[in-house]
Amino acid sequence: MRPAIRRAVVVIPARDEAATLDACLASVEAAGTIVDVPTDIVLVLDACTDDSATIAVRHPAVRTVAVAFGNVGRSRAHGVETALAGSPHDPQSVWLAFTDADGTVPRGWLAEHLRAARHADAYTGAVVPVLDDLDAERRRVWEDRHPPGATLGHVHGANLGMRASAYLRAGGFPPLATAEDVRLAARLRDAGVLMLSSEHEPVVTSARLRGRAPEGYAGYLEALAADRERGHGSVTFGVPSTYT
């Protein structure tokens, strides 16, 4: 029997995401209302030059910190450090959930994380683009290649969670500009942390084709149609990251 979760923390890095930030924060706040543990939200504004800080003020329950890293791995790690500093809770009883500022989470998203915490110490969840925002060809390719179960085991910083004890045991996020989420998942596996994966309650993310991170989710979407034109039977899945 794993220790019960007594506190949940959601960490959201953002870099110039004013267009989507309000909806993102509102969705995370709503997800926190249906779980039975206190939930803290930490927003890390990283080198933002837009109106993200002004938008964050509309959400007084969200703890906002501003940094100038220009690096998603450092931003995620800083959010965790901020959340855990001075915490009276045993790290085994704190659940860290991560999402991205260019998407929204469903109402049952955090509850799904906490259900996983009953059986495991880390969790990877599904991420889907706003399909209506994709052109017809990319949408066809995406739907063809994402039957039920297709995303199980994929690692997305936009839908990742773990006990704080597992995070600390694995050494946290590396200071990488991309693939920091995949690297942390590898560290968790190397540390012997039990991970569960689910496609329930997927995060819906931007369908933009030009993103912040090299080899990010935007790059993956951009390559879909080109891959079909080349006649490939599959697409190499890009590494999602906050700055997608």
* Residues 43/78, Cβ–Cβ less than 8 Å: no
Could you give the angle at the alpha carbon of 15 between the alpha carbons of 9 and 17, nearest 5°? 90
Which CATH number characterizes residue 201's domain?
Answer: 3.90.550.10
Note the pTM of the prediction, 2 decimals: 0.84
Averaged pLDDT score across all residues of the chain: 86
Residue 227 counted as domain residue: no
| Exposed / middle / buried, residue 217 (Cβ in 10 Å: 0-12, 13-18, 19+) | buried
> What residue numbers bound the domain in which 29 lies?
7-131+150-208
pLDDT over 70 (residue 207): no
pLDDT at 132: 64
Residue 221 counted as domain residue: no
Residue 243 counted as domain residue: no
Quickly list DSSP for 59-88: -TTEEEEEE----HHHHHHHHHHHHHTT--
Token pair of 9 as six digits: 């923390």
pLDDT at 220: 55
Confidence of residue 23 (pLDDT cuts 50, 70, 90): very high
**DSSP code at position 131:** G
Residue 236 counted as domain residue: no
pLDDT over 90 (residue 152): no
Question: 180 versus 214: which is more confidently predicted?
Answer: 180
Tally the domains of the chain: 1
pLDDT over 80 (residue 242): no
Give the pLDDT confidence of 170-184 residue by residue, as tens digits: 999 999 999 999 999
Give the pLDDT confidence of 118-128 residue by residue, as tens digits: 999 999 999 98
The 10 Å Cβ neighbour count of residue 135 is: 12
Residue 239 counted as domain residue: no
